[in-house]
Amino acid sequence: MAESKKRKREKEAQDGDFVEPKPPPPQTQGKGDVPGAVSEVLPTFPFSAFRVQKVLRESAREKILFLHGKVNEDSGDEKDAIVILEKTPLQADRVSDLLSKKSELKLQIRNDIYSTYTLYPPPELSEIKTTIVYPATEKHIKKYQSQDVYLIQETGEDYRSITLPFLQSQSFSIQWVYNILEKKAEADRIVYENTDPISGFVLIPDFKWDQKQVDDLYLIAICHHRGLKSLRDLTDKQLPLLRNIFQEGQEAILKRYSLRGNQLRIYFHYQPSYYHLHVHFTALGFDASGTAVERAHLLSDVIANLELDPMYYQKRTLTYALRADEPLLKKFLDAGKC
C-alpha cells in the first residue's frame, strides 16, 4: 500500500499536480495537421474574452456545465467556442489540506446533532477542470446541446445500406488520433504501447481523467491498424489484436496504477464517438458516461462472440441511441426503420 501511494505521488508530480496553479504549457501541432510538418505554437485560449451565449447542458449529478459562447479576436473576427466546466473529484491524500485552517467554514443549518456548512477551500484545492473547443462549429454546438434521444435497432443490412454510406459521406477528422499513434502529440502521456502495426495499440489516459486518483481511472487503447472503424468491422482476424488489448492493457494498468483486471471495466462504444477502433478502460467502481446497456459492449464478450461466430458483428442487430438532431436518425426515419 505504501509503495502504491509513493508511485501515485510520483505520477502526480510528473503530471503537474502543483500546490500553486500554473498556466498550461503551450500546445503544438503540425501546420495544417500535415504529417511530418514543422510544429508551431498555438496561442492560449483568450478566456477573458469569452462571452456566454447559452447554457447547452448541465448536470447537477455529474457536476458539469456545457457553455456556448463567442470570442472576439484581435483581428475583429467573432468565433464560436464551447467551454465545459467540471468539478474535479476530491483527493483522499489531500484531505488534511482541505480541512486545515486555510479553508473557511460557514454554517448554513444546525439542528440538534446535525449541521450543514459551506466549505471554502484554498485556491489550490478549488480547481475546476475546463475543456475548450475553439473555434467550434455548429456540429460541435449540437453535439453538446441537450436533446431528446431515440433507440435505433440496426441490423447488419441496415449498417451496410444506411449507416456505412452515411459515414462515408461525412468528413470526420481523426487527425488527432494519428498524431498520437505517430508520436506527434501526447507521446509523454502514453502508458503502454504494442508497436505491431496490425495487432498493436497505444494505451493512453483519456482527457476526461485528471490522473490524480485511480477511483475514476479512464484510459483508451487506440489500435495501430487504421482500417478498422468500429465493432462492425471486427471478425476472427482481429482476435489477436483484441486479446492483446485485453491482456496487455490489464497488465500495464496493474503495473502503473495497481488496479487488477477484475477491478476494470473494458469495453467498446457502439456507436463510437470517433471512427477509429478503440477500447475504453475504466475503474469498475467509477460510473463513467457511456456505460449504459445501449452503448457499451464488454471486450471479453466481443472476444467470446467472435470465437463462436467469426462474422458475428456483421450479422448481429445492434441497438444504440441517437439524438434528435443527428442526421443519421433522419436517414433511418426516411428508410422507415424507426
Q: What are phi and psi of 132, to 5 degrees?
A: -125, 135
Cell 504501447 belongs to 193
For 124-136, the DSSP string reads GG--EEEEEE-SP
Q: Do you find a cis peptide bond into 46, omega within 30 degrees of 0?
A: no
User: How many angstroms separate the most distant Cα atoms in the chain?
Assistant: 68
The reply to whether 278 belongs to the active site is yes
Residues 6+ apart with CB under 8 A from 246: 266, 299, 300, 303
User: What's the CA gap between 236 and 307, in Å, rounded?
Assistant: 7
Give me the sign of the Cα torsion angle 181, 185, 188, 191.
Answer: negative
User: What's the CA gap between 150 and 168, in Å, rounded?
Assistant: 23
CB 174 within 8 A of CB 181: no
Give me the sign of the Cα torsion angle 193, 197, 200, 204.
Answer: positive
Give me the sign of the Cα torsion angle 246, 252, 253, 254.
Answer: positive
Catalytic residue among 68, 224, 276, 278: 278
Q: How far is CA 70 from CA 38, 59, 87, 235, 333, in A?
A: 30, 22, 23, 46, 34
Give me the sign of the Cα torsion angle 136, 139, 142, 144.
Answer: negative
Residues involved in catalysis: 278
